[in-house]
Chain A
Amino acid sequence: MAVMVLYYVITALFTVILVRNFIKTRDVQKGILYLAVLMPFVLRLFRLK
């Protein structure tokens, strides 16, 4: 259970990093890539998939 909570913390950390990178990048292609990568992290954080 503790390991599971830790994995959710790691997932949240990756989500924050991806959102930050999306905001900061000036390259829209990279921005779209960050959003695509972000989707499974958000679905897991919201416990949907």
Chain B
Amino acid sequence: MRLNKEWTIKGIAMAVTGTILVLAGIAFAQHRNFKEEVVLGPGVTTVRTLGDYFAPLKGGPNDANVFILDSGEPGGTMLVLGASHPEEPATSLTAHLLVENATVEQGKLIVVIHSNPSASTVTRPGDAYPRFFHIETDWGIKKFRMGDRWANPLDSWPDPETYVHFPSGQLLAYMDVRNLNRTWPGRSNGSLAEQTCYAFMRLIEAEGVDIVIDLHEAELEYPIIGTIVAHQKALRIAAMASMTLTAEEFRIGMEISPLALHGLSHREIGDHSNAPALLAETPQPFLDRVRGITDESLLLTGKDEFVMKAGEFGLLYWPIDESGWPIDARVGRHCSTVLKIAEFWTLFNRSKPLVVTSVPRYADVVANGTGYFFQDPATASASKVVYE
């Protein structure tokens, strides 16, 4: 009798556990396998993948799409990296918008929408991150994956006790062995993130990249925000871009990449290649630790009363008011920053011009919304649709 009661309770517990496992498993699998549709814009001439530059990545989780917009005219080559940290969605949206809209009249533009695709297949349920977010367009709702800061542990496991950066030997937090912006310049036999950075360095060499822009977002509690961080080789460009953007469009600062802070794109790409690197940051209240309800609305509107309260107490490094920091403002800032850096690259390198057109600036994106600039994959020919 007692045995029957015991197994009845155990049976119910097994059924509940099984249900939780199935429901959670379906949710995780849906997110991991969801593909974003990208319509190739008029400027895209070739789509390659990172595995073309470093074979071991081919077909793997970080075999990222590389969109090449080649004018066919001689000039400079710029690489724009989106979603080094996929929990910073204005970066992948900006890169996506560049692929679908940009045309290049001189030089070559290379865009990567998800630089660490593995990190875009996982979120932080413990931090209440949504799995997806949605952008309104003229033709319907476009769905995107929300991601995390680090590569998916399913693709890169286990982490070391302490991550020793290569080649500097600097000690970093263990999980940063999966952080694409702590593993530059990478190594061929390292972790997934290190191999991905290694592949990007080979891409930079093979394509003759002259300048790299790594797009990011940051919490308002973090001092490096609303700014362009520049390698010493790119200080003039960053300074001029910062000053003219502040005068013409929006306030943006400029920081010099610290010499001893290793693993970051703005330090290592410039040190280990001919291409100077700049990192652009926009404010994203979703990432603040003092934030309130964490949901898709906060991700897209950037409105949070707790972050605002922190601002009233002088605890933030960037202003915020009732308007928040909506996704359109953040995408618009990145669009204008990329364009302005291209303009000043051309000004300072007359023999290697880079002329990018048909990309909306800050005011255009704020006025029309990010979704206005996305093309409808349903009306595009199948050969023009690529999956991310």
Contact = CB atoms under 8 A, between A and B. Distances in A.
**Interface range, B side:** 10 to 19
B6 interface: yes
A49 B28 contact: yes
A20 B174 CA distance: 33
Contacts, number: 43
A17 B157 CA distance: 22
B55 interface: no
Contacts of A46: 25
Interface of B: 6, 9-10, 13-14, 17, 20-21, 24-25, 28-29, 32, 122, 154, 157-158
B24 A48 contact: yes
Nearest to B3: A26
Contacts of A22: 10
B13 A32 contact: yes
B10 A39 contact: no
Nearest to A42: B21
A28 B13 contact: yes
Interface in A4-49: 4, 7, 22, 26, 28, 31-32, 35-36, 38-39, 42-44, 46-49
**Interface range, A side:** 10 to 19
A26 B32 CA distance: 39
B145 to A, nearest CB: 15
Q: 3 smallest A-B Cβ distances: which pairs?
A: A35-B17, A28-B9, A48-B25
A4 B178 CA distance: 14
Contacts of A7: 157-158
Contacts of B17: 35-36, 38-39
A15 to B, nearest CB: 12
Contacts of A49: 24-25, 28, 122, 154
Given A39-B24, A48-B28, A49-B25, 4 more contacts: A32-B9, A35-B13, A43-B24, A44-B154
Contacts of B157: 4, 7
